[in-house]
Amino acid sequence: MKGPKTARVNGIDISYDDAGTGPLVVMVMGTGSPGRVWQAHQQPALIKAGYRVVTFDNRGIAPSSECAEGFTHDDMVADTAGLIEHLGAGPAFVVGTSLGARITQELALSRPDLVKAAVMIATYGRNTPVQQAISAGERALYDNKITLPPDYAAAITAHLNLSPHTLDDDRAAKDWLDVIGFSPQTVTAGVRAQLGLHDREADRLGAYRGISRPALVIGFADDRTLPPKLAREVADAIPGARYEEISKAGHFGYLEQPGEVNRLLIEFLDAHR
């Protein structure tokens, strides 16, 4: 384990963790979450499988630059590109989830020279009315300085991001509520800037027909935040992309069903290493 480092890329500081040896895998996290979330399950499995794994905090997530004044998707794509160039080990396998998957798609499209193959988890190529309404509500809570009661916030987070199969088990549900309550997602000024991205997202499905890198898209059958039909749309748009759907998994499926997610990841990466 080499420990956290800082790279100066694209005019900002990016905090990253670099571990393992072998072909480079760069992992891109979703809205409001730090890169260390990957370290619970995916990073150890990939290192064991013989990969060098870099996880990082997107701009907006301290200790990376928060850029509270606002930024664009293109900025975040350029950050990921700059980090791969900084590492000097590209082209890289790039794996992203949610907003991180959208960044991965755009990187594969705009900088195919940096992407050996791409994996998009719980992804989307267009906004939906429900997605827009939830994001607008999250922004309004922050802008109006409203803080939800912790237990209620944990329950809403669990409801939106976990499978009913998980929540139907009272013991598992209580464990998840405890975990979420212990490490709540705090909306900082930087996270608020990330949330602002969702109000300006265009339909990019047509553009994704231009992606030329090998691609795996993973959807989660019980994803309420980004329903699996959105992931399937992305897979259908990318020439030759493979689509896999994991049952009994919500938006946090990489935490709920890590064994199956890791199996698909390693199988795909091994086929293209």
Which sequence positions are flagged as catalytic?
Answer: 98, 223, 251
Structure tokens at 74: 């293109």
Closest by Cα among 96, 99, 124, 135 to 230? 124
Q: Fill in the amino acid letter for 213.
A: R
Q: β-pairing, 24-28 with 52-56?
A: parallel
Structure tokens at 99: 């907003």
* CA torsion, ordered 203, 205, 157, 16, to nearest 10 deg: -100
CA distance 212 to 214: 7
Radius of gyration of the chain (CA): 17
Structure tokens at 212: 């030329």
